[in-house]
Amino acid sequence: MTISDSSRIAGASKSFGEQVADDGFAIVPNILTDREVAELLAIVEQSELPRSRAGMRHAMRNKSVAAIARDARLMQLAQAVLGPAALPFRATLFDKSPTSNWLVVWHQDTALPLRERREVPGWGPWSVKDGVNYAHAPACALEQVLALRLHFDDSVAENGPLRVLPGTHTLGVLSDESLHELSTKIVAVDCLVARSGILAMRPLIVHASSKSQSSAPRRVLHIEYTASANIADKLILAIS
């Protein structure tokens, strides 16, 4: 499947770009073939990269993951939102199953990997994960990022799908109190995505997930793209 910014998704009245701009997320079905999904999953499962039961950080270090992140079909989606210079910089495998199950409270994704630590106003606190520097970023940087979540399995109501509060990506970086307040005022949407489909989301959209109540796995490759590697003055994103 290919998609342009003017195309309609699954009968939606808005284009892909319009959906992401207005709601902070969009679901695109059937991006890859079943065979492509199966082959990529097998490669990821056999990867020698460090991983925990919950998944794998820094998956862009795997050549096949890096290749799929740069696949024309995914790049077209990223470019529709971020512009023609969009590029992938980080990939994470999430592997939710009966033996690795977790609850995620309402939050925003605000930490970004950076080549080196520099004290820049608005950035921090800093940390190091698997040898990579991370800093919590201001809204002006996070607005340059889009995540494409490639689903290796059907994401259904029973296996802990991602839940989002539409439109909250426009509110900036929020406090814990504001996150909780929004969760009581805005109707959450369960992002149910079939195998081989993609959920596109802005990092500042308020999101959460419940524990899985199913014996079926929910494996997702979360790939992040940026409008530019130079995310801020003196700060360059690390490819991870």
In a domain, 238, yes or no: no
Look at residue 215 in the predicted model and tell me its pLDDT.
78
- Which tens digit of pLDDT belongs to each residue from 218-227? 899 999 999 9
In a domain, 123, yes or no: yes
> Which residue range is the domain that position 86 belongs to?
16-226
- Which tens digit of pLDDT belongs to each residue from 24-47? 999 999 999 999 999 999 999 898
d(CA 207, CA 209): 7
- Look at the pTM and tell me if it is higher than 0.75: yes
DSSP category for residue 122: T
Q: Which residues contact 205 (CB under 8 A, 6 or more apart)?
A: 24, 25, 108, 164, 165, 166, 168, 169
Look at residue 4 in the predicted model and tell me its pLDDT.
46
Look at residue 42 in the predicted model and tell me its pLDDT.
94
In a domain, 111, yes or no: yes
| 69-100 CB burial, b ≥16 within 10 A, e <16 | beeebbbbbbbbbbeeebbbbbbbbbbbbeee
Q: Which two tokens stand for residue 188?
A: 């959450």
Q: Report, as ranges of residue numbers, the positions in the chain whose pLDDT lies below 70.
A: 1-12, 53, 98, 101
In a domain, 233, yes or no: no
Q: Within a 10 A sphere around the Cβ of 157, how many other Cβ atoms?
A: 11
In a domain, 240, yes or no: no
In a domain, 237, yes or no: no
Q: How many domains does the chain have?
A: 1
Q: Which residues contact 200 (CB under 8 A, 6 or more apart)?
A: 16, 20, 25, 26, 27, 28, 77, 81, 146, 147, 148, 149
In a domain, 211, yes or no: yes
DSSP category for residue 121: T
Can you tell me whether residue 10 is helix, strand or coil? coil
d(CA 38, CA 143): 32
- Inter-residue contact 191 to 25 (CB < 8 Å): yes
Q: Which two tokens stand for residue 58?
A: 């820094």
Strand (E) or helix (H) holding 181: helix 176-185
In a domain, 231, yes or no: no
Which CATH number do you get for residue 64?
Answer: 2.60.120.620
